[in-house]
Amino acid sequence: MKNAAQSVQVSTEKHRPRVVILGAGFAGLTVAMRLACQPVEIVIIDRHNYHLFQPLLYQVATAALSPADIAAPIRGILGHFDNIQVLLDTVTNIDRDRCQIQTLSDRRIDYDYLVIATGATHNYFGRDEWHELAPGLKRIEDATELRRRILLAFERAEIEENPARRQALMTFVIVGGGPTGVEMAGAMAELTRFTLARNFRRIQPENARIILADANERLLRPFPEALSEKARRSLERMGVEMKLGTRVDHLDRHGVRMEQDKIATETVIWSAGVKASPAADWLGVDSNAAGQVAVEADLQLPGDDRIYLVGDVCQHINPDQQPTPGLAPAAKQQGKHVARDLIARIRGRRRPGAFVYKGRGQLATIGRHSAICNFGQVRVTGYAGWWLWGAAHIYFLIGFRNRVVVAANWFWSYLTFGRGIRLITGDVAVKPDASSAGNPGRSTLDQSR
Amino acid sequence: MKNAAQSVQVSTEKHRPRVVILGAGFAGLTVAMRLACQPVEIVIIDRHNYHLFQPLLYQVATAALSPADIAAPIRGILGHFDNIQVLLDTVTNIDRDRCQIQTLSDRRIDYDYLVIATGATHNYFGRDEWHELAPGLKRIEDATELRRRILLAFERAEIEENPARRQALMTFVIVGGGPTGVEMAGAMAELTRFTLARNFRRIQPENARIILADANERLLRPFPEALSEKARRSLERMGVEMKLGTRVDHLDRHGVRMEQDKIATETVIWSAGVKASPAADWLGVDSNAAGQVAVEADLQLPGDDRIYLVGDVCQHINPDQQPTPGLAPAAKQQGKHVARDLIARIRGRRRPGAFVYKGRGQLATIGRHSAICNFGQVRVTGYAGWWLWGAAHIYFLIGFRNRVVVAANWFWSYLTFGRGIRLITGDVAVKPDASSAGNPGRSTLDQSR
């Protein structure tokens, strides 16, 4: 233990304060980039070796982009700053008395200041066993697994003799009508209506049922009602069925039950709510229903001015009593604020004080030529909104390469309606009988990942 | 069974002869494309839903390309031809009396003509248990697993306290000095010398040991001696150690033993020889040491003029008594020949007769600015050879998108020395102690895939 902790110090200078950042998402990465070249020593720890542009994960799941298009290696972004140390590791606990974090690799790392930006994962509202049956869209592995299940469902439908099972294979249920669910539904509609159409002989992918379910009566709650309505109508125009105001109360490998009606399906996509990573447990403090830790106006942990929480892991209330939303721009703004506050403290300057979220607008795309953008007074929808959405997302992608490749991929798909990333990797199961597990042809749904 | 076989016929016309093609590699895909729009009904069966450009798999393993860059969905290539049916399935047996093939999904598919192009896999020369310890480069999953192990080795070295284990983590052994082994060694040298350099604080990736081992005394046996020599020298100039003329006789998760010397390493890459897929067993005929089925001069199975074998699965001897090499161009030439022969038979025209392989030259690249190209009289090496190699490989990639994206990726890497695909996906293990299995931090080497 001890010499491990020292070992981290070996490579660093003693007199500069050390800022340890947990998580290299939008919030954590922003803090690190803002503190680079400042008189601090930074240790950034992430359980992955890449920063992931989560808002586009659904495009990986629907074969429009490759994982590497929306992920940039953290060392590639921060590696050349001499005051930044990147560690691939997983936090297991925080020792606030000793000012140390503990990691899965049995190491203790001292901090002078700690920034917790460990984000959130899916929220199955206590039914964690559903994760196997209905993956969400938080990690690259989730997206490639969904891509595998979606593409495989059509391959299996093509050889399925039983019409009922063929219909079930060609039915896709998306649970959760937030931005992710809406964008996923639109992308699925495109994939089936355009890309896969005519590629099969015995099935018509364009007849696939795509169902978007939400316990709430309307989609995209953060958006104004009118835009939610627009989104619903354009999705319906693309052939997406709505099941609004009904809660999913049962899931198994053969289907979904929502109050009254039961839908036979083998592919369920989960996008209903997020649960913060267990920072509250590490810190020994309370959390809200979503597992978030409440922070002060300046994003500090109440009663511990060495610790900040930023991004989805924290609950921050703005002066107007509105909570800061769980969006990438909000996480970045919080990251900038914390970096500014830390620099002020270290240089003994006046501190910026309370963080106030500046809503720069909300964007959501609904497949080809349709998106909704809300900038308060200004609302852009349809064709123009779609181009705006694309431009914004390419602009915010980190890394020159990713921007170029994503732009190229999108342009190609735009011209050809094709999607080049239609790879089924991992276990390939085409046995018509899904219940026969244990051999290479076993069901995609009963395999453990 | 029965109605399954019928079910395939439902979607097809009776009077046209049916050609069943097993495998959508270079050989099988060429046959299908040549027979498209001919008066035949084609069923092409592959266990993957994509055609893979295997010669560039090593670039996926070394984070230069994404899997989708070198793989194209079979339905995307063939889906729009009405006389072609694409099935994702795995062949389990061939019933020559009934002229049926049997698949993993318990279906029987009738054929009038059968083209077997199921290719080859790695050859561990009877030590199949080595596959876990030393993956080869035949499938996308192999390449991403190698990428994971290589990148993870550096991450683990960065936090490793024990100098001996740190050295072992930074040692990479490539077994097999054929084109794949040589190209892999060159790519590894580049990755460590250029891309990863300066990205770590406690280790110097540029000091990683890259060892290329072959039982033979010289590299690239198919090439002329002078070029093999050139290849060896340029690899050595890049810092690759040679262990030639020594056979690997033991492998475990801690290292490799080659006759006298034992090398401590946790990453071994296998590129020593290939073994044909079990077509001989399906057909009930003999095979050679590499598992290949000997074919007639016209690529037919001796004694059964309904069955052809093409590509790595067959052993074909040319009039000059030389066997056709296991290269992509050879497989394509054989595919063209079989298609021509089938068209002639179906249209009752004169048949082309014996297949003769036309060697158009051999190419192998050895990292940045160095490749060797052999066209008999003409030999191009070094800088010019490298550009020639790149142009050839982009030209032969299937699919407009892949060409553009690969060119873009290469150009970007060329300008920046960077590699954007440095993603560690799947199990991330950074526990310094590799022997502690069973938790998320378990060793990368003792996990079963």
DSSP assignment of B155-181 equals: HHHHH---HHHHHHHTEEEEE--SHHH
Residues A100 and A29 in one domain: yes
Return the sign of the alpha-carbon dihedral for residues A428, B267, B158, A99.
Answer: positive
How close A183 gets to chain B, by Cα (Å)?
22
Question: Would residue B255 count as lying in a domain?
Answer: yes
Whole-prediction pTM value? 0.83
- Candidates B201, B424, B444: best to mutate against A (most CBs of A within 10 A) is B201
Q: Are B174 and B185 in contact (CB under 8 A)?
A: yes
pLDDT, tens digit, for every residue of B122-145? Answer: 888 888 889 899 999 999 999 999
Provide the residue range defining the domain that includes A265: 128-272
Give the total residue count for chain A: 449
pLDDT score at A428: 61
Question: Would residue A140 count as lying in a domain?
Answer: yes
- 8 Å CB contact of A199 and B158: no
pLDDT score at A9: 43
pLDDT, tens digit, for every residue of B37-82? Answer: 899 999 999 999 999 999 889 999 998 888 988 888 899 889 889 9
pLDDT score at B360: 79
pLDDT score at B401: 65
- 8 Å CB contact of B432 and A151: no
Residues A263 and A286 in one domain: no
Does the active-site annotation cover B160? Answer: no
pLDDT score at A377: 73
Residues B111 and B135 in one domain: no
Residues A230 and A108 in one domain: no
Lowest mean pLDDT among A316-330, B189-203, B280-294: B189-203
Give the total residue count for chain B: 449
Residues with Cβ within 8 Å of residue A156, at least 6 apart in sequence: A169, A429, A430, A431, A432, A434
Q: Are A294 and A314 in contact (CB under 8 A)?
A: yes
Question: Would residue B175 count as lying in a domain?
Answer: yes
Q: What residue of B is the nearest CA neighbor of A139?
A: B425
- 8 Å CB contact of B50 and A424: yes
Q: What residue of B is the nearest CA neighbor of A434?
A: B105
What CATH number is attached to the domain comprising B157?
3.50.50.100
| Residues in B touching A432 (Cβ below 8 Å) | 105-106
Residues B144 and B211 in one domain: yes
pLDDT score at A429: 53
Question: Would residue A55 count as lying in a domain?
Answer: no
Question: Would residue A430 count as lying in a domain?
Answer: no
Beta bridge partner(s), residue A41: A18
- 8 Å CB contact of A7 and B161: yes
Beta strands in A253-402 (DSSP E): 255-258, 261-264, 267-270, 274-276, 293-294, 300-301, 304-309, 314-315, 362-365, 371-375, 378-381
- 8 Å CB contact of A68 and B421: yes
pLDDT score at B237: 92
| Residues in B touching A158 (Cβ below 8 Å) | 87-88
Residues A237 and A321 in one domain: no
Residues A302 and A340 in one domain: yes
Residue B202: count other Cβ atoms within 10 Å of its Cβ.
14
Q: With a cut of 50, list the residues of chain A below it in pLDDT.
A: 1-13, 431-449
pLDDT score at A332: 93
How close B431 gets to chain A, by Cα (Å)?
4
How close A261 gets to chain B, by Cα (Å)?
32
pLDDT score at B424: 77
How close B196 gets to chain A, by Cα (Å)?
8
| Residues in A touching B51 (Cβ below 8 Å) | none
Lowest mean pLDDT among A135-139, A367-371, B308-312, B415-419: B415-419
| Residues in B touching A420 (Cβ below 8 Å) | 68, 72-73, 76, 399, 401-402, 405
- 8 Å CB contact of B105 and A431: yes
Q: What residue of A is the nearest CA neighbor of B103?
A: A431
| Residues in A touching B196 (Cβ below 8 Å) | 75
- 8 Å CB contact of A198 and B409: no
Distance of alpha carbon B251 from alpha carbon B263, whole angstroms:
10
pLDDT, tens digit, for every residue of B208-261? Answer: 999 999 999 999 887 888 888 988 999 999 999 999 998 898 999 899 998 888
Please tell me which of the candidates A72, A90, A430 has its beta carbon nearest to residue B105: A430
CA B13 to chain centre: 36
pLDDT score at A106: 87
- Calculate what percentage of chain B has a pLDDT beyond 90: 57
| Residues in A touching B199 (Cβ below 8 Å) | 75-76, 79-80, 86
Question: Would residue A359 count as lying in a domain?
Answer: no
Domain boundary among B272, B300, B323: B272
Q: What residue of B is the nearest CA neighbor of A86?
A: B200
Higher pLDDT, B399 or B370: B370
- 8 Å CB contact of A71 and B158: no
| Residues in B touching A440 (Cβ below 8 Å) | 90, 104
With CA atoms as reference, report the closest residue to B27 among B262, B329, B400, B432.
B329
| Opening angle at CA A16, ends A10 and A20, nearest 5 | 75
Distances (CA, A) of A113 to A12, A91, A304, B294, B445: 15, 16, 10, 70, 36
- 8 Å CB contact of B159 and A48: no
CA B414 to chain centre: 24
- Under the banding of pLDDT at 50, 70 and 90, the label for residue B432 is very low
pLDDT score at A308: 98
Please tell me which of the candidates A85, A159, A402 has its beta carbon nearest to residue B105: A159
pLDDT, tens digit, for every residue of B73-101? Answer: 899 889 889 999 999 999 999 999 999 99
Distance of alpha carbon A326 from alpha carbon A34, whole angstroms:
21
Q: What residue of A is the nearest CA neighbor of B8?
A: A159
Q: What residue of B is the nearest CA neighbor of A199?
A: B79
pLDDT score at B83: 93
Domain boundary among B238, B272, B306: B272
What CATH number is attached to the domain comprising B320?
3.50.50.60
Please identify which of the residues B183, B190, B266, B296 carries the catalytic annotation.
B183
Ordered DSSP codes for A385-446? HHHHHHHHHHHHSSSHHHHHHHHHHHHHHHHH---TT----S-----S-TT--SSTT--SSS
Please identify which of the residues A183, A206, A241, A266 carries the catalytic annotation.
A183
Domain boundary among A272, A288, A319: A272
pLDDT score at A378: 77
Residues B137 and B267 in one domain: yes
Q: Structural domain tally of chain B?
A: 2
Q: Are B219 and B190 in contact (CB under 8 A)?
A: no
Residues A239 and A154 in one domain: yes
Question: Would residue B234 count as lying in a domain?
Answer: yes
- 8 Å CB contact of A420 and B431: no
Question: Would residue A391 count as lying in a domain?
Answer: no
pLDDT score at A349: 94
| Residues in B touching A405 (Cβ below 8 Å) | 405, 408-409, 420
Residues B39 and B149 in one domain: no
Q: What residue of A is the nearest CA neighbor of B407?
A: A405
pLDDT score at A391: 78
According to DSSP H, which parts of A191-274 are helical?
Answer: 225-237
Rounded to the nearest integer, the mean pLDDT of chain B is 85
- 8 Å CB contact of A441 and B104: yes
Residues B283 and B341 in one domain: yes
pLDDT score at B8: 45
Residues B169 and B245 in one domain: yes
- 8 Å CB contact of A3 and B431: no
pLDDT, tens digit, for every residue of B96-112? Answer: 999 999 999 889 999 99
